[in-house]
């Protein structure tokens, strides 16, 4: 794979999952989608695009194919790398809740096992203090 910006982890991540359909597939896999049909119904993506994105996510180790118990179809299951995208999806969801809905506009809510909305994700520094764009810097390693 040719990386857009070889030294930047954000660019490398976007090269793998920055496409709208890839992230929606990952989101739906986190919400229980497993089959091609599940993903197609939930996202509305065209079959050829879905085929391509599922292949890409499998090739890059974010999903793995498993044969269904019936032995008749393939199922797609998140790998550990795919599951590690959960905080990314939560952060995007929370950003979307804050910035893409009008006050009082209905939207889905991610809740914990007690049925309560997750608290906002907030990065912290090595001492547990809030980390912001003003308190962090990018350090390039060689």
CATH number at residue 58: 1.10.10.10
56 is a domain residue: yes
140 is a domain residue: no
142 is a domain residue: no
Structure confidence at residue 59 (pLDDT): 96
Average confidence (pLDDT) per 10 residues, the chain, 142 residues: 87 93 97 96 97 97 94 94 97 95 94 96 96 94 78
Q: In percent, how much of the chain has pLDDT > 90?
A: 89
Structure confidence at residue 141 (pLDDT): 84
25 is a domain residue: yes
Range of the domain at 18: 9-83
Alpha-carbon span 74 to 94, nearest angstrom: 32
Asked if 67 contacts 35 with a C-beta cutoff of 8 angstroms, the reply is no
pTM of the predicted model over 0.75: yes
């Amino acid at each position: 794979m040719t990386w857009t910006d070889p030294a930047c982890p954000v660019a490398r991540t976007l090269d793998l999952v920055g496409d709208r359909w890839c992230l929606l597939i990952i989101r739906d896999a986190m919400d229980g989608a497993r089959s091609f049909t599940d993903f197609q119904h939930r996202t509305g993506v065209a079959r050829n695009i879905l085929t391509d994105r599922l292949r890409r996510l499998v090739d890059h180790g974010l999903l793995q194919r498993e044969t269904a118990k019936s032995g008749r179809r393939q199922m797609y299951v998140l790998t550990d790398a795919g599951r590690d995208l959960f905080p990314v999806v939560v952060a995007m969801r929370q950003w979307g809740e804050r910035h893409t809905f009008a006050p009082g506009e209905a939207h889905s809510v991610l809740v914990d096992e007690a049925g309560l909305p997750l608290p906002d994700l907030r990065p912290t520094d090595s001492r547990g203090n809030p980390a912001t764009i003003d308190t962090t810097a990018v350090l390039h390693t060689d």
